[in-house]
């Protein structure tokens, strides 16, 4: 008889672990998962540890660090790790943990649900089954499993507030899908972690995500600098269009000259920003603005937070954003 794969389930709260309370759904510890854990125990040797018990709206960079440290410290002796998490900020956590754990040598799979496990129609059991299958696959990396699909943690974005197909893999193929053949993984997508696994969890919270709007005042850049921000991720228009009126370029130049790393992504969910196409984009590149290319906003923000936390200089960060660390960017 084949030996069961050893899987560690880390719980952090979220809808999947919620029960109705006096003021609405409230997250609980892993006791609410007992039925599903027993069923999965037929196929896997499962250890359960409660790390947090939070609505994911309340998960901050400090909790990202706590989750990453727990994964790193407890990974030995397990074939894979599943992290149950609320859906609202799971893409941020999965991206952040991806950068905090370079060289991770086992699968780490985030999952959750749109309906609590206590609901008879919950999508939670199916999502857990997919996550456990990926955790037992032997493919190292950080992933997110939802609605019978597995995607890189640094490519996942929540695209639906209530639908069961809540997450999509943006600008990248799925790492795996569940079909009549079981879990089928795509070797073109699977990361290939190199080197010794490391925990590099120092991160900076001084990064601001700015969505450009028509007529936005350039004073916003002075305000962000005055507030101590060290990085800005700008969701620009289309391929990377920026307001050039109202001294927009001057404001960005002042921020870059002040040592603030400015990364430009696009407000469009799919495809890539490309600052080389239009005149204004080339002006931005000349100023030292960094191209976010086809990264998700979640990945761009957490990668910048991580890079600043690692003590990198603006020029080092520019070079870093031209590299794919874990599949978060398509390198041309």
Share of the chain above pLDDT 90, in %: 75
Share of the chain above pLDDT 70, in %: 92
Give the tens place of pLDDT for each residue, 43-73. 999 999 999 999 999 999 999 999 999 999 9
Interval 296-317 mean pLDDT: 97
pTM of the shown model: 0.94
Catalytic residue, chosen from 11, 15, 93, 296, is: 15
Cβ atoms 174, 189 nearer than 8 A: yes
Give the tens place of pLDDT for each residue, 9-36. 999 998 898 887 666 677 777 678 999 9
Question: How many Å is the maximal CA-CA distance in the chain?
Answer: 71
What's the pLDDT band for 149 if we cut at 50, 70, 90? very high
185 catalytically annotated: no
Give the tens place of pLDDT for each residue, 234-292. 998 876 666 554 466 788 889 999 999 999 998 888 888 776 665 566 777 778 899 99
Cβ atoms 124, 145 nearer than 8 A: no
Q: Residue 139 and residue 143: Cα distance in Å, rounded? A: 10
Query: Tell me, what's the pLDDT at 246?
Result: 47
Computed over every residue of the chain, the mean pLDDT equals 91
Q: Residue 293 and residue 272: Cα distance in Å, rounded? A: 5
Give the tens place of pLDDT for each residue, 162-180. 999 999 999 999 999 999 9
- Give me the residue label for tokens 């998962």: 33
Residue (of 251, 312, 241, 308) closest to 279 by Cα position: 241
pLDDT at 330 over 80: yes
As given in the structure block, the two tokens for residue 37 are 């854990």
User: C-alpha dihedral over 303, 158, 109, 196, to 10 degrees?
Assistant: -10
User: Domains (ranges, CATH) in the chain?
Assistant: 5-185 (3.40.50.1170), 207-320 (3.40.50.40)
What's the pLDDT band for 213 if we cut at 50, 70, 90? confident
Interval 77-88 mean pLDDT: 97
Query: Tell me, what's the pLDDT at 244?
Result: 52
Give the tens place of pLDDT for each residue, 183-204. 999 999 999 888 899 999 999 9
Residues sharing a CB contact under 8 Å with residue 241, sequence separation 6 or more, in sequence order? 278, 280, 281
Query: Tell me, what's the pLDDT at 288?
Result: 84
Cβ atoms 240, 266 nearer than 8 A: yes
Query: Tell me, what's the pLDDT at 248?
Result: 66
């Amino acid at each position: 008889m084949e030996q069961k794969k050893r899987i560690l389930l880390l719980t952090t709260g979220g809808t999947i672990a919620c029960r109705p309370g006096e003021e609405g759904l409230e997250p609980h510890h892993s006791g609410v998962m007992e039925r599903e854990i027993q069923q999965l125990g037929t196929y896997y040797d499962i250890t359960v540890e409660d790390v947090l018990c939070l609505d994911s709206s309340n998960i901050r960079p400090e909790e990202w660090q706590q989750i990453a440290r727990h994964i790193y410290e407890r990974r030995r002796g397990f074939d894979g790790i599943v992290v149950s998490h609320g859906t609202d900020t799971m893409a941020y956590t999965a991206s952040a943990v991806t950068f905090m754990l370079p060289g991770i040598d086992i699968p780490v799979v985030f999952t959750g649900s749109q309906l609590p496990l206590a609901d008879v129609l919950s999508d939670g059991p199916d999502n857990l089954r997919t996550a456990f299958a990926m955790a037992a696959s032997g493919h190292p990396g950080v992933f997110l499993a939802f609605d019978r699909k597995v995607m890189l943690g640094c490519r996942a974005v929540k695209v639906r507030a209530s639908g069961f197909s809540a997450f999509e893999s943006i600008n990248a193929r799925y790492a795996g899908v569940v079909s009549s053949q079981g879990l089928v993984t795509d070797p073109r997508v699977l990361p290939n972690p190199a080197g010794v696994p490391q925990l590099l969890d120092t991160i900076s919270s001084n990064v601001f995500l700015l969505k450009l709007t028509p007529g936005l005042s350039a004073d916003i850049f002075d305000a962000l600098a005055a507030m101590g921000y060290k990085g800005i991720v700008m969701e620009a228009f289309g391929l990377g269009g920026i307001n050039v009126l109202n001294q927009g370029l001057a404001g960005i130049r002042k921020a870059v000259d002040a040592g603030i790393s400015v990364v430009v992504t696009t407000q469009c969910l799919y495809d890539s920003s490309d600052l080389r196409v239009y005149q204004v984009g080339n002006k931005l590149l000349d100023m030292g603005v960094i191209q976010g290319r086809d990264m998700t906003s979640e990945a761009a923000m957490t990668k910048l937070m991580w890079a600043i936390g690692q003590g990198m200089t603006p020029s080092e960060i520019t070079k870093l954003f031209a590299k794919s660390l874990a599949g978060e960017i398509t390198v041309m």
